[in-house]
Amino acid sequence: MREARCFGAWQRFLQRGTRYRDHVANRQAGTLRTCLQQWVKMKQLRASDGAKVAQLSLCWQKAGNMALFSSVPGGATAHGLRLMAAARVLPQEQGQGSLQEACRKLALQRVLLLWRTRLSQRQQAE
């Protein structure tokens, strides 16, 4: 009888250990999944930002407000920031208001996503 109780206790001990390991593995997988999702969102945003900045640049060029810019790898984001600065300085002409607003929205979206990512990373570090 005593052996049966010892065996039962040993079996419950092993089951608790297995459940704990499964729980830890699930949490780690969830954290990894979240990190990968954030990484994918950042990559998608950067790709879409590059396309948006290129479209905005073409609109500006068609409007005669900007010269062609050199296509340097990674320069699309820097160019987008220059567009934002130029949008604040240039006078309001026909059709320019919506372009300026698009530049502002693009910059705000980038800042918000960066802030959310950093907040999430800080919370995970704690």
Which pLDDT belongs to residue 24? 86
The DSSP code for 90 is S
For residue 105, pLDDT over 80 is answered with no
Most trustworthy range by pLDDT among 5-14, 40-49, 90-99, 100-109: 5-14
For residue 89, pLDDT over 70 is answered with no
Mean pLDDT of the chain: 71
Instruction: Summarize the confidence of residues 20-45 as an average pLDDT.
Output: 84
- Please indicate whether residue 103 or residue 29 has the higher confidence score (pLDDT): 29
For residue 118 the two structure tokens come to 């950093």
Please state the length of the chain.
126
Statement: the pTM of the whole predicted model exceeds 0.75: no
Which pLDDT belongs to residue 64? 54
Q: Whose CA is closest to 45, among 120, 100, 116?
A: 116
Per-residue 3-state assignment (H helix, E strand, C coil) for 22-81: HHHHHHHHHHHHHHHHHHHHHHHHHHHHHHHHHHHHHHHHHHCCCCCCCCCCCHHHHHHH
65: pLDDT confidence band, cut at 50, 70 and 90?
very low
Domain ranges of the chain: 36-125
Half-sphere exposure of 68 (CA within 13 A, CB side): 3
